[in-house]
Amino acid sequence: MKRRNFLKAGALGIVASLVPGYAENAIKSPAKKPNIIFILADDMGWSDLGCYGSEISTPNLDALAKGGIRFTQIHNTAKCMPSRACLLTGLYAQQCGMDKRPVHFSKNSVTLGDVLKAAGYRTLAAGKHHSLDSLYDQGFDRYYGLRDGCCNYFNPGRQRAGEGVPAQKRPGQRVWVIDDKTIVGYTPKEKDFYTTDYFTKYALDYLEEYKNEEKPFFLYLAYTAPHDPLQAWPEDIKKYEDRYKDGWEVLRKERYRRQIKLGLVDESMPLSEPTYEDWDSLSDEEKKTEARKMAVYAAMIDCMDRNIGKLIAKLKEVGKDKNTLIVFASDNGCSAEVVRLENQIGKIGSMTRWTSLGGNWANASNVPYRMFKNYSYEGGICTPMIAWWPGVIKEPGSITDHPGHFIDFMPTFIEASGASYPTEHNGFSITPYEGESLLPVLKGKSAGRRKPIFWQWGKGKAVLKGKWKLVAWEKKWSLYDMENDKTETNDLSANYPEVVKELKSMHAEWLVNCKKAVVK
């Protein structure tokens, strides 16, 4: 797939930051610093948006895509926690201590909140932050949300009077943060509570509260949708309750055909081998249950899109839509993980029932790629990504296959804002960010990637250098030509042993160097 050419952006100014500890070199940026909004979905597959081939109603994200750029080769880390670490720091999770389990960020790192706040930004966050730190202590002026991995959407805390017991993996132990307050077992009083709605509510309140400020803002809005448990409002589920009765094979092929029509897929991206069960082998009751799961999953994405529409409307209302960069992505591919809790009661989609989507539907969700969350194959690490920036992105509806990674957002936002990256922070030397700015791509300049990209999560690992991607699950390495085989259907490791040897060595060296950077 050839990357579309884009028109050049408007006038650029020169801004120099003189904040102590931050580099004092002048950086080109727009004459007026843009507002920046980063919206993150959780466990959402590559094909789950209308503008990426889905049947799910996502008119607001589709509108951003129509007025902006869709990326087809931007990558996360295959897992929630390390993806967020990369996004926030511009470092690999292995460099900031967030590569195995939620811990405190390493002292050699800074967050986008730290960097943009030092550049004069109001820094705001709502939603999920998967670590032992609070975003309120990591450079953000305001933070409301889940400082944990996942939670019940209707009640993340303890049972409320007159209601059933909320389905939870660790009852009463999920950690919530509201600015400087940390709450274990947060039980909302509001009976209309639903995480997607309330994360948005706080984001809207922030925009209203600071609407008259002259300073620009950075908003990080990290939804938990559509991560399990599958839970949604009944009226949203109703829209999809009859949509998935034909099963995952039909859905997978329908989405793939739409992707071809949309120009997202070409001859280098044949549909990967299926991993789903035979739909017709299921009983009628099993089919009904499976169709219900997917209907709830779709309803969660539908609700998220509707909330994003509220955010865009608020942005326009406060008069800040003309100079705002919005980026949307997912933290990993759709998940095949299944959580099984005892004493499950209630209907799938309700507060008292924890249900996971499972691998059959995940195989359809990640079309056309192979595998799922946790794997370093494209189904686990490739995210749908939309960038929207009026006046800078001059070719609406463009598609690019520029290869990128979550480590690229730090340099992108630094270049867009005129901020400076620190050499030290809180008395510690800061590791230089690893990413490459995507701003040239947004401005229509040819921007081939200079550095290789690395992955390591659990049993999955990979390295991408030029056209070659070496990837493994456990110990078996496979080699793919990503210029001609983006869906990883033809293993070339036996044909190019010298490439395999080189990339394996690079990956091993990268891991060693990452460990040296961590400062506890």
The SS3 assignment for 324 reads: strand
Measured in whole angstroms, how far is the alpha carbon of residue 502 from the centre of its chain?
Answer: 30
The SS3 assignment for 7 reads: coil
Burial of 55 (0-12, 13-18, 19+ CB in 10 A): middle
Q: Which amino acid is at 33?
A: K
Q: What is the length of the chain?
A: 520
What the block records as the tokens of 485 is 């085989």
What are the residue ranges spanned by the domains of the chain? 12-517
Q: Which residues pair with 126 in a beta bridge?
A: 144, 221
Residue 187, CA distances (Å) to 184, 196, 203, 347 in order: 9, 16, 20, 22
Q: CA–CA separation, 404 vs 187, rounded Å? A: 39
Write down the pLDDT at residue 447.
74
Question: 226: cis peptide before it, omega within 30°?
Answer: yes
Write down the pLDDT at residue 267.
86
DSSP state, residue 36: E
The ranges of the chain with pLDDT < 70 are 1-31
DSSP state, residue 50: G
Write down the pLDDT at residue 286.
98
Write down the pLDDT at residue 6.
30
Q: Which residues pair with 471 in a beta bridge?
A: 462, 478
Count of alpha carbons within 13 angstroms of residue 236, beta-carbon side: 26
Q: What is the enclosing helix (H) or strand (E) of 408?
A: none
Rg of the Cα trace of the chain? 22
Q: CA–CA separation, 368 vs 371, rounded Å? A: 10
Write down the pLDDT at residue 24.
33
Instruction: Measure CA of the first residue to CA of the last residue in the chain; give whole Å.
Output: 43
Q: Does domain 12-517 have CATH number 3.40.720.10?
A: yes
Q: Which amino acid is at 284?
A: D
Average pLDDT for the chain: 93
Tell me which residue has tokens 């600071």: 210
Q: Which amino acid is at 200?
A: T
Q: What is the DSSP string of 333-378?
A: SPP------SS--S-TBSTT------HHHHHHHTTTS-S-TT-SSH
Write down the pLDDT at residue 23.
38
The SS3 assignment for 464 reads: strand
- Kindly report, residue by residue over 188-222, the tens digit of the pLDDT: 999 999 999 999 999 999 999 999 999 999 999 99
Q: CA–CA separation, 216 vs 320, rounded Å? A: 9
Q: CA–CA separation, 206 vs 210, rounded Å? A: 6
Write down the pLDDT at residue 22.
39
Q: What is the DSSP string of 117-177?
A: HHTT-EEEEEE---SSS-GGGTT-SEEEEE-SS---SS-SSSPPTTS-PPP-SSTT--EEE
Q: What is the DSSP string of 202-256?
A: HHHHHHHHTTT-SS-EEEEEE--TTSSS-B--HHHHHTTTTTTTT-HHHHHHHHH
Q: What is the enclosing helix (H) or strand (E) of 201?
A: helix 195-209
What the block records as the tokens of 406 is 């979550």
What the block records as the tokens of 221 is 């809005």
Is the distance from CB of 58 to CB of 345 less than 8 angstroms?
no
Write down the pLDDT at residue 364.
97
Nearest CA among 417, 414, 441, 416 for reference residue 430 = 414
Burial of 213 (0-12, 13-18, 19+ CB in 10 A): exposed
Write down the pLDDT at residue 26.
32
Angle at 485 between CA 482 and CA 491, to 5 degrees: 95
Measured in whole angstroms, how far is the alpha carbon of residue 30 from the centre of its chain?
Answer: 26
Q: Which residues pair with 457 in a beta bridge?
A: 460
Is the distance from CB of 290 to CB of 282 less than 8 angstroms?
yes
Strands of 377-425, DSSP E = 382-388, 398-400, 404-405, 424-425
Q: Which amino acid is at 317?
A: E
